[in-house]
Structures are given as structure tokens and as C-alpha cells.
């Protein structure tokens, strides 16, 4: 009985996921303060402010506050998403489907990733380094004021590599498993990490729970994304053999257990060196390099990275649905 319910639900959400994926490719992220992810971000900011005001400003208080933030945000996100879907389906099944399609649409971020990274490319092409630094500062967490052109390009390419998983394939995996409810829970985790998951003086203890939770939720998706990128590199006209070789060699070269998974594939596919030392909040952070500098990174690598992101996400969509269909045959 339970297995039959799961199969029926998978069949129901398949349409919404496909519509949401292609809507994102065509239209990009919808704008406005009522975007679900922005609402989640606002909830995180408000909850953080309350918790940090009422809990002791000591190590233990900060750690407890961070744990409570994760629990409150995930609980609220899950309850609200479930309620909105249930109310929509209760009013009319067609309204429920439309709501679910819109939710899936807002969870994907492929086109917005391309648009924002292409702003870096266009700024470097037409306006110069200063504008390129400004454009890339909108999509990375590092300090960008002292970056040279290669540094700006590397930052954009690394962001595309990381968000091929975080913004496209990982949400796709969670949507296919559990629909918008699980999809929004993943996005809540990812958003918390991007807002408080820093190892600086302000968030060293408070952001620890969010960062560790994000590591757990992204552990398998990051590795699946890397595999899809290796296969997708052939479709994108890039070097699949080098993508695989560098992935095997460099996938552990990062403080995060997940970030180097997709960055190493990107570096190998492009034949460039990524990562290395970077400045965050005024402090220089020493990081190992990823990939081999067989050639200097260039502006066109931003286009090539986006091409790999699209090829990998399309391949992931096909293969994940095939995998789910095969699973249903044996349930």
C-alpha cells in the first residue's frame, strides 16, 4: 500500500518537475520579494536575529542558536510547503498542479546562474576589469577588489561548477525523490549555509550547524553531479578523459567535502587550474589548486562552463527519470 502511494506520487510530480525545469531554462528565476527562496531567506534572517538576541553570546549559546535555526527553518519550510500544496489540491486538482509546477520552477536556478555569470563575461569584454570585479562580486562570497582578470574569470567558473550541483542537479535529485516539499527543504539548507555558514568571527559557532547540515544534504548530490558532469563534458565538446582524471586526483582538495567534486571535473574538462588562495572578509585563506594549468584561463571559459552546466543538467534529468522508472518496475 505504501509503495503504491509512493509510485502514484512519483507519477504525479513528474509532470511538474519537467514543466518547472523547462520554465527555468526559458524564463529564468522569477523576480520579486514573494519568490519562495527570498521568503525563506527573510525567515532565516529574522530567526537568526531573534536567536542571537535571546541566547548567550558565548560559544555554547552560539552553537545552540545555530542548531535551533536549522530546526526552526526546516520545520517551518516543510509545514508551509505541505500546507500550500494541500490547500491548492483541496480547492481543485488543477490549482494544485499549477502550484506544484510553480514551486518546481522556483527551485531550479540554471538560467539565473548563466545570466549572472555572463554579466561577468560581458563586463570584461566591454567595460574592463573594474566592472568585471563588480559583476563577479554579485555571485561569490570572496573579496574581489584585488582580483586580476584571471582571478575574476576563475571565480565565475568556480561558481558555475559549484552551482551546477547546488542550484540545478541537487535540487533536481531532491525534487524527483520527494517533490517540492523535499526540494524546498534542500533549498532552505542551502540558503542557510550561504547566509551563515562562514568560518569567520561572526559565524564560526553560530553557522556551524547550518554548514554541517549542508555538507550532509549535498554529500551524495555533489558526487552524482560530478559524474553527470564527466559524462556531460563529452556532450559539451570538452575533454571527458581529463575531466575524469582530474576528478579522481583532485576531488578531495577542498576544506568542504563537496565543493571540489564538481570543481575538479570543471577544471579537467576545461584544461585549466582553479581554486588556490583567496581573500574572505579581509583574511587570506590558503587553498590548494585544482586541475592542471595546461593553458591560461580565458574569458571564453565562462561560456564553456555554462555549456557544461546545461549539458550535465539535461543528462541528469534524463538519467534520473530513467532510474526512477526502473525502480518503479521492481516495487
Taking only the tens place, the pLDDT of each residue in 232-247 is 999 999 999 999 999 9
The pLDDT score that the predictor gives to residue 288 is 85
**C-alpha span between 296 and 196 (Å, rounded):** 34
Q: Given this model, what pLDDT does residue 5 score?
A: 58
Summarised one tens digit per residue, pLDDT across range 44-84 is: 999 999 999 999 888 999 999 999 999 999 999 999 999 99
Neighbouring C-beta atoms of residue 53, cutoff 10 Å = 9
Closest CA to 44 of 175, 171, 194, 215: 194
Nearest alpha carbon to residue 279 among 189, 124, 148: 148
In this structure, are residues 311 and 232 in contact, taking their beta carbons and an 8 Å threshold? yes
For 241-300, how does the pLDDT look when each residue is reduced to its tens digit (9 = 90+)?
A: 999 999 999 998 887 889 899 999 999 999 999 987 676 666 777 788 999 999 999 999
Closest CA to 113 of 240, 4, 224, 262: 262
pLDDT at 3: 61
The residue segments making up the domain with residue 147 are 2-330
- pLDDT number for residue 282: 63
Number of domains in the chain: 1
Whole-number pLDDT of residue 9: 64
pLDDT tens per residue across span 4-23 = 655 666 667 888 999 999 99
Residue ranges in the chain assigned as alpha helix (H): 2-27, 36-54, 59-91, 93-107, 110-126, 129-137, 149-163, 170-196, 208-235, 240-250, 259-270, 300-330
Do residues 85 and 180 lie in contact, with contact meaning Cβ atoms separated by under 8 Å? yes
Share the mean pLDDT of the chain: 91
The stretch 128-140 carries a mean pLDDT of: 91
Amino acid at each position: 500500500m505504501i509503495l503504491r502511494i509512493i509510485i502514484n506520487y512519483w507519477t504525479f510530480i513528474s509532470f511538474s518537475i519537467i514543466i518547472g525545469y523547462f520554465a527555468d531554462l526559458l524564463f529564468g528565476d522569477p523576480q520579486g520579494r514573494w519568490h519562495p527562496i527570498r521568503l525563506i531567506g527573510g525567515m532565516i534572517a529574522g530567526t537568526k536575529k531573534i536567536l542571537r538576541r535571546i541566547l548567550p553570546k558565548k560559544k555554547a549559546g552560539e552553537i545552540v542558536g545555530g542548531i535551533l535555526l536549522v530546526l526552526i527553518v526546516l520545520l517551518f519550510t516543510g509545514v508551509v510547503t505541505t500546507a500550500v500544496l494541500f490547500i491548492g489540491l483541496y480547492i481543485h486538482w488543477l490549482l494544485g498542479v499549477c502550484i506544484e509546477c510553480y514551486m518546481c520552477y522556483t527551485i531550479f536556478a540554471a538560467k539565473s546562474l548563466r545570466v549572472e555569470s555572463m554579466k561577468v563575461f560581458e563586463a570584461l569584454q566591454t567595460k574592463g576589469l573594474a566592472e568585471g570585479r563588480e559583476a563577479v562580486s554579485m555571485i561569490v562570497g570572496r573579496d574581489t577588489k584585488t582580483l586580476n582578470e584571471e582571478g575574476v574569470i576563475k571565480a565565475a567558473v568556480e561558481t558555475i561548477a559549484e552551482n551546477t550541483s547546488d542550484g540545478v542537479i541537487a535540487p533536481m535529485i531532491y525534487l524527483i525523490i520527494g517533490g517540492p516539499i523535499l526540494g524546498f527543504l534542500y533549498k532552505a539548507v542551502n540558503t542557510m549555509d550561504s547566509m551563515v555558514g562562514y568560518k569567520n568571527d561572526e559565524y564560526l559557532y553560530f553557522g556551524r550547524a547550518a554548514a554541517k547540515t549542508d555538507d550532509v544534504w549535498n554529500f551524495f548530490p555533489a558526487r552524482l553531479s560530478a559524474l553527470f558532469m564527466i559524462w556531460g563534458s563529452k556532450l559539451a565538446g570538452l575533454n571527458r578523459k581529463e575531466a575524469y582524471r582530474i576528478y579522481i586526483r583532485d576531488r578531495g582538495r577542498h576544506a568542504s567535502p563537496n565543493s571540489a567534486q564538481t570543481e575538479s571535473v570543471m577544471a579537467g574538462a576545461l584544461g585549466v587550474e582553479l581554486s588556490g588562495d583567496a581573500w574572505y572578509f579581509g583574511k587570506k585563506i590558503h587553498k590548494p589548486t585544482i586541475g592542471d594549468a595546461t593553458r591560461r584561463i580565458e574569458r571564453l571559459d565562462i561560456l564553456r562552463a555554462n555549456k557544461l552546466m546545461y549539458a550535465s543538467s539535461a543528462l541528469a534529468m534524463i538519467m534520473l527519470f530513467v532510474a526512477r522508472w526502473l525502480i518503479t518496475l521492481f516495487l
